[in-house]
């Protein structure tokens, strides 16, 4: 079932992509600089922000991940497309 999504849907997905990018880069940096307290602080701040944005997205538009990493409302939401990775 394809449906039209408001601009807020795409804004949240773009914000999640940006946060994921920052978290990957910080992870790579911290793999080689494990004692950089400032980078660890930044990582934790971005991780918290990502959790907040992901929670907001899932409340409004459905699950982001499967296999128990996200909840589903009734009826089962995984049959609704497009899935976040298809947009």
Domain boundaries, the chain: 7-86
- In tens, the pLDDT along 21-41 reads 999 999 999 999 999 999 999
Closest CA to 47 of 67, 69, 27: 27
Distances (CA, A) of 2 to 27, 34, 65: 35, 45, 18
**pLDDT given at position 86:** 74
Which stretches of the chain drop beneath a pLDDT of 70? Answer: 1-5, 67-79, 85, 87
Nearest to 56, CA basis, from 16, 86, 22, 29: 16
């Amino acid at each position: 079932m394809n449906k039209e999504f408001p601009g807020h849907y795409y804004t949240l997905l773009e914000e999640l992509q940006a946060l994921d990018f920052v978290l990957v880069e910080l992870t790579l940096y911290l793999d080689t600089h494990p004692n950089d307290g400032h980078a660890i602080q930044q990582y934790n701040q971005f991780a918290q922000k990502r959790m907040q944005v992901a929670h907001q997205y899932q409340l409004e538009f459905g699950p982001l991940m499967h296999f128990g990493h996200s909840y589903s409302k009734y009826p089962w939401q995984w049959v609704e497309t497009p899935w976040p990775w298809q947009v």
